[in-house]
Chain A
Amino acid sequence: MTVPTLETRGLTKRFGGLTAVDDLSLSLPGGQLHAIIGPNGAGKTTFFNLISGLLAATSGEVYFRGRNITGLSAHEISRLGIKRTLQVKSVFARQTVAENLWITYEGSKRFLHPFRDAAADTAARERVDRTLEQIGLTAIARRQAGTLSYGDVALLEIGMALISDPQLLLLDEPTCGMSPAETERAVVRIREMARTIDIVIIEHDMPVVFDIADAITVMAQGAILASGNAKEIAADERVREAYLGRPEDEDYVEEAADA
């Protein structure tokens, strides 16, 4: 049996009396696009924070390709090749698009030279130029990231994920807040990336999830409710009850019908 890309054993995170992630044991084989879905407050983002080192687990362990990475700090985990995006789009607002990519490329290096001219690094510059072309932002490479439209920021985020050569990419609601056209473009990019990179994605947009995910894990109240492929999940009674068939969603359907 091959070593899973990502494995958690009894992963638990408590905030005071609240158990956000509850004894979560999960094993994700490589070569898949894995989606995690679940209602708000199910602990999905906390789960990502535990894996990427932004939060320390109360108990339990995280393994990346068989290596125990529990307790490592965020930059150490990032340097192992686990990269992630944040739910709220998050780039370096006062830097240009190209500078955002540049620092993401250089960031993983152990030694940051204090005196050499950053602009003199031709390898990095070429890589930045290539990534700009890949995400189609060459024309606005010198614009400040803080002045970009939402869709362009999302593309930049994808560019930053690409240029960092991830082994495992954690995407936290990548299409959140996007227009349908932007979502479509983002989905295409994510599919492309999934051919070479293991991806775990948190997503609320159900059509997107059922469209791109090879495997789906449903979380509720910090624990795994169900897992399987799209068909199995859609047919699962408990999932419907806990998630798809929630009254909120019915409201949403009614609202949509009214509109």
Chain B
Amino acid sequence: MSRRTAIERVVFGLFAAFMLSVPWSVPAVVSNFWVSIITEILIWSLFAASVNLLFGYVGLLSFGQALYFGFGMYGVGIGIDLLHLGFWPVFALGIVAAMAMALVSGIFAVRLTWHYFAIITVVFSLIFYFLAVRLKPLTGGDDGINFSMPPTFSIGGHEFSFTDATFQYFFILVTVALCFYLMHKVIRSPLGKAFLAIRDNDVRASLIGINVYLVRLTAFVMAGFLAGVAGALFAFFGRYASATYMFYQVSGEGVVWAIVGGAGTLFGPIIGTTLFIIIREVVSTHWEHHSLIVGVVAILVVILAPNGVVGVWRDLLDRVEERETKPAPAQQEQTRAAAP
């Protein structure tokens, strides 16, 4: 095992250990409030991952992922409030609604690339945002739908529900982790390699026999799945669904989080989302113009570290590896230093 893999494993191990200890360690050091912030970070990381899957791996910059997040939310909200369904059916409803919407808009959107693609994704999300605001009886408009949580499941008479904060945290943690694991599997698969080929050179990809349209559409629906799961979890977490989360500003935040964290890397969206939500939470209590800081940080990262925070981290590891594989110059230097 190289030193690089060792470092990466240790960092991942520490990260996983911390995530598992959050319900106890965080209240002990700061406060309960930060447990819910971390839960929110998990959910929004998944949303940023959906942007990242499209932009970082397939080369499609979507400014409309909030639409699928919103469909995930409303699947849950309408499912509970109007249809009186249980936890799992509404969870499924939210995800399926998001994927179906992604399929329908994807059929049109993935015919286009670059700014045309970005524009059509914004247009789709705007159309449905205004529809959601107008259809007040169904969606509650700007006020949204408030609901109370049905129990998740019961084992031997004991009911597990989101009213238990620890259960809520772990349910969200496990779901988000599963989604990231799925994404990891996809990226390493033949399909994932086709994503990268299309990102790098779509004409060449079609000439080696890849059905570019179909692969892009598949990626778009997969991204809809990730955003839908995030939206459904956020509805469970906040006990409400609202059209405001379908606005394109939310989509834009997802893009910034993914790019600053490191587009095209699995963990980039987590880092970017964590960074910006912490900035928001810390600064907004003292200063209302916290988005100024967000803007400055985003611009600085894009200019100074085009591959995001994860890109900087990888460069550091590359240097460690280089030192490992080329010990000769270092030794020379040592002998020179030792010489009188």
Contact = CB atoms under 8 A, between A and B. Distances in A.
Interface string A101-133: 011101111001111111101000000000000
Interface string B201-230: 101111111111001001000000000000
B318 to A, nearest CB: 12
Nearest to B195: A112
A95 interface: yes
A104 B212 CA distance: 13
Contacts of B200: 92-95
A99 B193 contact: yes
Contacts of A73: 206, 211
A13 interface: no
A74 B205 CA distance: 9
A86 B186 CA distance: 29
Contacts of B209: 75, 78-79, 107-109, 164
Contacts, number: 106
B185 interface: yes
Select the residue from A53, A104, A119 with max chain B CB neighbours within 10 A.
A104
Given A75-B212, A92-B200, A52 B190 contact: no
A112 B204 contact: no
A83 interface: yes
Contacts of A116: 189-190
A107 B188 contact: no
B197 interface: yes
8 contacts: A54-B206, A91-B204, A94-B196, A106-B193, A112-B190, A114-B218, A115-B189, A117-B188
Given A83-B208, A107-B209, 14 more contacts: A54-B207, A73-B206, A74-B203, A75-B212, A78-B206, A91-B204, A92-B204, A95-B197, A95-B200, A103-B193, A108-B208, A112-B210, A114-B185, A115-B186
Interface of B: 182, 185-186, 188-194, 196-197, 199-201, 203-212, 215, 218
Interface of A: 52-54, 73-75, 78-79, 83-84, 86, 90-95, 99, 102-104, 106-109, 112-119, 121, 160, 164
